[in-house]
Amino acid sequence: MVNLLDKINELNLSRRSFLKASTAAAAALSLGGCANTLTTASPDQMANGEGEWRTAACWHNCGSRCLNKALVVDGVVVRQKTDDTHPDSPDFPQQRACLRGRSQRQQVFGADRLKYPMRRKNWAPGGGQKELRGQDEWVRISWEEAFESIAGELKRIKEEHGNRAIFADGGDASKVLALYGGYVSNWGTTSRGTWHGTNGPVGIGPSAVEGINDRIDMRNCETVIMFSMNPAWSSAGNPAYNFMQVKKAGAEFIAVDPYYNDTYALLEADWIPSRPSEDTALLLGVAHTLIVEDDPATNPLIDWEYLKNNTIGFDADSMPEGADPKDNFKDYVLGTYDGTPKNAEWASEICGVEPQRIRYLARAMSKNKKVAIIFGWASARTQNADSLPQLVMTIGAMTGHMGKSGHMCGVSCHTGSSNGGPGLVTAGKDGLPSVENPVDDSLNHTEMWRAIVDGKYNFTGQMKWKKGEMRDIDIRAIYHDTSARLQTADGMTKGIEAHRKVELVVSHAQFLTTNAKYSDFVLPLTTEWEKLGGFVTGNREILIMYSQITEKMYECESDQWIAKELGKRLGVDVSKAFPFDEKQQFFNMIAGSKVTLPDGKTKAPLVTITAADIAEWGVEGEPQEGQITLKEFKEQGLYQVERKPGDNYGFIAYKKFRDDPAANPLGTESGKMEIYSRALAQRINNMGYSKIEPIPTYIPPVEGYQATFSDWKSKAKGDYPFQVINPHYLRRSHSVFDNVQWLRETWPNPVFINAQDAKAKGIMDGDTVLLTSQHGKVLRTALVTERFMPGVIGLPHGSWVDMDEKTGIDKGGADNILCGPVSTGQGASGWNTCIVQLEKYAGASLIPDVEKPQRIIF
């Protein structure tokens, strides 16, 4: 730090110009701000070609990946830019960064970086004043003291309560805890919601490929029907651009979503507003329309051949042996035996789409059109949605939009958005051994905090979908060594209670994040910019190798260094987890990188490595012949497979299975797509959270639309009359970047409220509003809009909790204060299923986030 400041002074920067150019007074000491100053303060140096453009990591889980470059002059980042490695074109697009990547230096050099190990002031062995977690002061301590105290407490807890009393997130320190006798892990369906546990048994997949064709084939579509997706925000690199090419090629877009988001606006999609969590009802209405309107001679909507050859369970004739033929999907939809046809009128009452629009949607899916039916994961991050992916597959199978050019049905999300198919260029493995955790206890995210508070939980294995087994659990220590669990898992109110109950809480952190804030010990972490280098992966055509940008800052250290030092104090042999250093790990990844050659089949080594490279790096390895030299790759930072129409890199999902299902069976019991899936029902029902049927049926979500009524039949509204969803917001990548002042200023993080609802509640744009759920209360500033449908509120995902301890109201607008620890089905985190009351807040108005003081400790 001192070094960097000296260097800045050497670059003739006056304190006055430094302050003037800082974006916000509070961030005046931010080196990001100062880097900005240097851009204008030293044009001479830039003109002189001083410094070096290095590939700078953008390493967060943002749903995309882009090339970021930093101009480093004498160890200081003076400027950032993005991909200019080749000219931009629709077929071979540049990998251009979004606003967050371009603000990365504001994060890395932020004044609020944690600088030293620290301890909570009122901590004492056993926890001290535990209720002060989250509101205590901090004391700077040495690394030595930190390790002594943490190792001491872990030893004591292990001796008194055993390893089952230690909970950890699963990062590098957890490996050491595994060597120390084990720890209680955690698991959740996170991103993909029910696309996790439902896919395998019904025949969707394999997992990386959930059913869509590649981006160039998508240009053959006539209609693209989008459900719950917003790549303009949630896959901010190429995908929106790829979809624009599909539009340019002539496709029409339809969007089914409670929110007319920026993606739909960009593509001028025909919006069908639909209530959150209720897509199953809507799609059953679509299925009903398809069945009753289909006529092979005059109005062919259904692909009967695909249903017959590639699926089981659609009708009584295609049921698996042993199953009651009456339990088939078609008869459920028609209401043959239960007396309730799931027609458009039935669906409309639940999902809010007018019946004629449901019919329009079904007709738009007609088998004779080239249609893409594509889903983001958001609608499956809902409660009781275990059958939704199966129903999506059923609709795709009914309309035959599978396995053919210009036809597709599946997931378009995250780095796979708009572009299906296996990776064409991949990084190698670091070569570290895996360390077995002797403790098998693993807490599902939906009940993790409850389990710590209440002392019992439902064991189902870590994503093993085992038969549920109630177990006692007595957690005494929480160790955060990866992720932002307290902030991002279900039910933060319970989470805070859990964090105040245990005897020890430790976090590795770069900033005073929520995990860190509620800890006893916080260990300052380096960022990727301070590391030797590494890889990030994104869409299937690219691989990014980043370099070190700056020296290690302050007293920060890497997770691995911390893990090893802790391990030494615990008396374990850390070489079992980390037998070689981080440089060798990085080198192994380089050497193991692979690329698919233009024949579309052969996988070959990517990087040419010479004996001289190996000697220069001082690592162990063998020379190899690849497609790009190590030097070139490092300079460029990006390897991108060049694509053009008609090349061998195209991908049609399920093609082989469609063409010859007998020769290419799926991994299901029947080898076919299972519209009736015994395996799925067994998996879910065994776990013990809630029940489903082997066919997709409608089950009201615990906190879904019906729960907004005190009496559904008479339509009397209840205490929580509004539904809330959590769009992934462009200011952040989950909780990351929330502290960056540039981004706070540009993206204020309001709460989106429909104009009609606002009027009824006397709420004006800019008013501070209170949202109350059964699980907590948050404040935010209202943004009144027609882009959210009536009855639905949008609270952006990931804002850092800022609890007012006096009122118990969160002024930060944290989504998980409202979302509860509700377990259904496969233990899916059902964040988009949440109901609230909305009112104008009578207390003091919120100040904009950008005006809040940064969390600068030392």
Ligand X SMILES: Nc1nc2c(c(=O)[nH]1)N[C@H]1C(S)=C(S)[C@@H](COP(=O)(O)OP(=O)(O)OC[C@H]3O[C@@H](n4cnc5c(=O)[nH]c(N)nc54)[C@H](O)[C@@H]3O)O[C@H]1N2
State which residue has the least CB distance to ligand X.
63
Number of residues that bind Mo ion (CB under 5 A): 1
Say whether residue 706 binds Mo ion (CB under 5 A).
no
Is 732 a binder of ligand X (CB under 6 A)?
yes
- What sections of 618-677 are H helices per DSSP? 630-636, 655-659
The reply to whether 728 sits near ligand X by the rule CB under 6 A is yes
User: What phi, psi does 791 have (nearest 5°)?
Assistant: 90, -10
Q: Is 591 in the site for ligand SF4 (CB under 6 A)?
A: no
Burial (CB count <10 Å: 0-12, 13-18, 19+), residue 697: middle
Contact yes or no for 741/854 (Cβ under 8 A): yes
Q: Which of residues 91-150 bind ligand SF4 (CB under 6 A)?
A: 97-98, 100-101
Shortest Cβ 540–ligand SF4 spacing (Å): 15
Catalogue the long-range contacts made by 263-272 (C-beta closer than 8 Å, 24 or more residues apart).
263/226, 263/229, 263/230, 263/231, 263/232, 263/233, 264/226, 264/230, 266/232, 266/240, 267/224, 267/243, 269/226, 272/353, 272/357, 272/361
Residue 484, interface with ligand X (CB under 6 A)? yes
**By CB under 6 A, is residue 549 in contact with ligand SF4?**
no
The C-alpha atoms of residue 712 and residue 227 are separated, in whole angstroms, by: 26
Q: Is 749 in the site for ligand X (CB under 6 A)?
A: no
3-state secondary structure 247-291: HHCCCEEEEECCECCHHHHHCCCEEECCCCCCHHHHHHHHHHHHH
Using CB under 6 A, count the residues that bind ligand SF4: 14
Contact pick of 72, 111, 177, 236 for ligand SF4 (by CB under 6 A): 236
d(CA 526, CA 790): 45
Residues 6+ away with beta carbon under 8 Å from 363: 289, 293, 301
Choice between 136 and 530, CB closer to ligand SF4: 530
Residue whose CB is less far from Mo ion, 122 or 191: 191
Nearer to ligand X, 36 or 228 (CB): 228
Among candidates 619, 705, 580, 853, which has minimal Cα distance to 29? Answer: 853
Structure tokens at 485: 């669990």
| 69 forms part of the interface with ligand SF4 (CB under 6 A) | no
- Region from 536-544, 725-733, 752-760, 766-774 binding ligand X, contact rule CB under 6 A: 725-733
Contact 734, 61 (CB under 8 A): yes
Q: Rounded to whole angstroms, what are the CA distances from 134 to 497, 512, 829?
A: 11, 10, 25
Pairing of strands 594-596, 603-605: antiparallel
| Interacting partner of 377 out of ligand X, Mo ion, ligand SF4, none (Cβ under 5 to 8 A depending on kind) | ligand X
Determine which residue in the list 66, 77, 256, 477 makes contact with ligand SF4, applying CB under 6 A: 66
> At residue 324, what are phi and psi to the nearest 5 degrees?
-70, 120
Q: Which does 237 bind (CB under 5 to 8 A by kind): ligand X, Mo ion, ligand SF4, none?
A: ligand SF4
Please identify, using beta-carbon distances, which residue of 739 and 768 lies nearer to ligand SF4.
739
- Tell me if residue 770 falls in helix, strand or coil: strand
Provide the mask over 351-390, with x wherever binding to ligand X is found by CB under 6 A and - wherever it is not: -------------------------xxxx-xx--------
Nearest to 776 by CA among 751, 805, 809: 809
Site stretch for ligand X (CB under 6 A), options 15-23, 224-232, 614-622, 637-645: 224-232
- Is 393 near ligand SF4 (CB under 6 A)? no
**Residues 184-213 close enough to bind Mo ion by CB under 5 A:** 191
Nearer to Mo ion, 193 or 396 (CB): 193
Q: How many residues bind ligand X (CB under 6 A)?
A: 60
Residues that bind Mo ion (CB under 5 A): 191
Residues that bind ligand X (CB under 6 A): 60-63, 171, 190-191, 227-230, 233-235, 256-259, 261, 274, 276-277, 279, 376-379, 381-382, 413-414, 481-485, 488, 508, 510, 513, 525, 559, 725-730, 732-736, 797-798, 815-816, 819, 831-832
Residues that bind ligand SF4 (CB under 6 A): 58, 60, 62, 64-66, 68, 97-98, 100-101, 236-237, 733
